[in-house]
Chain A
Amino acid sequence: MIAAVQAVRQWSRDVLTAWNHFWFAPAAPHTLALIRILAGLMLFYTHLVWSFDLEAFLGTAPWVTREASQAMFRSPYTWSYLWHLESPWLLWLAHGLALVVFAALTVGFRTRLASILAWLITLAYCHRLQGALYGLDQVNAMLAMYLTVGPAGAVWSVDRWLAKRRAAAPATPVPSIGTNLAIRLIQVHLAIVYLFGGISKLKGTAWWDGSAVWLAVANYEYQSLDLSWLGRWIPLIAIFTHVTVFWETFYPILIWPRLTRPVMLVLAVCVHGSIAIALGMPTFGMAMIIANLAFLEPAFTAAVVHACGQRLRRHAKPASSAKQTL
């Protein structure tokens, strides 16, 4: 009996230690910073595109009026300052300022403030634009939310560059608990997204009979790359269908062990890359890939970015020396 109690106690201690390590171990900021840059760019582009028809979506005679939005989304818990901008110049001013905030987040200028503002602005657009939103906006809002949690501008940012100039920054970025917390929240949230993405597909028949991928690629309104030649390779369509649904359903489990993680990530790039290229949703596909970056070790991210930077510099040097010769 005593042995059993001791075993339970030991197990409880182990769980607590694992929990604390999972959420509260300090982590280096490189992966979070890369997500900040890419998600910031995505937020900037997503909101820039509203500018092409801003008044049709947010003006005084919009596609979705306040009454229609409230009838569609019956919740007293949403709010958006965009409902209160009646004059066009005020709307354009607010929209321009929103773009400035997203740009500041991307380059990491006043990152903490920019990340909080970027999140609140993203929520305001999402709450106002019900009816025209889809998965991209869900991922944008998710990433914007978690970028407020950690020091997303601790590296590769204007903030870091300014701090270095003032000699106020340490030579190497300091690992922090906030960074780890932000990354873990993205990881767990993403695992839940895939879990339900997989489960909801299991309710359908096309994901079982192997035809679902065909139904997606043969949808003319989604199509951005003609893959109708796949109709000659029905077993291949079935393989893509089954791999997609099994990958998505088991992602929440197989993404954690180091052995299976690379396979899950490569499949994520393949699936979301295909959606980006063939199904007319390059932004959504890229946003999902950006979220998946949360599973990269900071040291790996730093090494890859460093190698890319060196390569770019090597390419830039011959070009500039050629200019000097001319």
Chain B
Amino acid sequence: MELSPRVRALLSLVVCLHIAAVFVAPFTFNSSPAPGMAAASPVGAVLMDWFEPYIDALYLRHGYAFFAPDPGPSHLFRAKLEFDDGREPEELMFPDLRRHRPRLLYHRHFMLSERLIVGYVPAVAPRELVDDPVRMAAWRASRDAYVDYYEQLRQSYIAHLKHRYGAQRVTLTRLEHQILSPADIVENRRDMADERLYEVHPEDVVAEKLP
């Protein structure tokens, strides 16, 4: 079947706009100074404004930054459950390979725990932004949004765990699992699962909302 030139032209336009939208999302992501912050490039910001409804509706807002810029330590959280009915307090780790099966379900819990760290906007602005009022304003907005989202997410996890386990109090502790060097494993025979490698991640996030 041959398409008429008019139909071809129309389809070409649709294809071009779609490909542009697919491109704009990771372009904007990569042009942001930090995950969660608005694009530093004015081109990225304008394009994102145009394409945002389409990108979000079609679930295209991705950076495709797999294991990038550098593969880092993983982030977990420990939930301490306390009960008023006489049960002993319980501690659960998320994710946990023994409890979360099949592997894909484990990975879903892994992503939930990573979410408590991903998109983190530091409490102190990056030095290169300080003299730029526009970028500083963007950074402040991102930081406030992060503080809000982190607190909402944390409360959401706590409410879920209270409901699921019938606990009255739930305390979450974020952990960062440090990665051993080749020398540590090969020469010093250290174990990747060594408990000392799980460091508590500091809770600087909800300490203060910026003025």
Contacts and interface: CB of A to CB of B under 8 A. Distances in A.
Interface of A: 19-20, 23-24, 26, 45-46, 49, 52-53, 56-57, 61-65, 67-68, 71-72, 74-75, 77-79, 123, 126-127, 131-138, 141, 145, 176-177, 181, 185, 188-189, 192-197, 199-201, 203-207, 212, 214-216, 218-224, 228, 230-232, 234, 237, 280-283
Contacts, number: 205
A196 B186 CA distance: 34
Contacts of A133: 111
B94 to A, nearest CB: 10
Nearest to A214: B182
A88 B116 CA distance: 28
Secondary structure of the A contact surface, majority rule: helix
B210 interface: no
Nearest to B26: A196
Contact of B23 (A26, A145, A192): A192
B42 interface: no
Interface stretch (B83-91, B123-131, B158-166): B158-166
Given A192-B26, A204-B68, 18 more contacts: A67-B152, A68-B152, A68-B153, A71-B152, A77-B53, A77-B56, A78-B56, A132-B108, A132-B115, A136-B107, A181-B15, A196-B26, A196-B63, A200-B64, A200-B65, A206-B71, A220-B74, A220-B192
Given A19-B12, A24-B11, A132-B111, A215 B56 contact: no
Given A23-B15, A68-B153, A177-B1, A61 B108 contact: no
Contact of A126 (B27, B59, B101): B59
Given A68-B155, A134-B111, A200-B68, A20 B8 contact: yes
B68 A201 contact: yes
B156 A196 contact: no
Contacts of B107: 134, 136, 280-281
A189 B23 CA distance: 8
B30 A196 contact: yes
B177 interface: yes
29 contacts: A23-B11, A23-B12, A24-B8, A46-B104, A49-B105, A52-B101, A65-B152, A68-B153, A68-B155, A77-B54, A77-B56, A123-B57, A131-B153, A132-B111, A133-B111, A135-B66, A177-B3, A189-B22, A192-B23, A193-B26, A201-B69, A204-B68, A206-B70, A206-B71, A215-B72, A220-B192, A221-B74, A231-B185, A231-B186
B74 A212 contact: no
Contacts of B115: 72, 131-132
Contacts of B102: 49, 52
B207 interface: no
Contacts of A72: 115, 119, 149, 152-153
B58 A200 contact: no
A131 B112 contact: yes
A226 B185 CA distance: 12
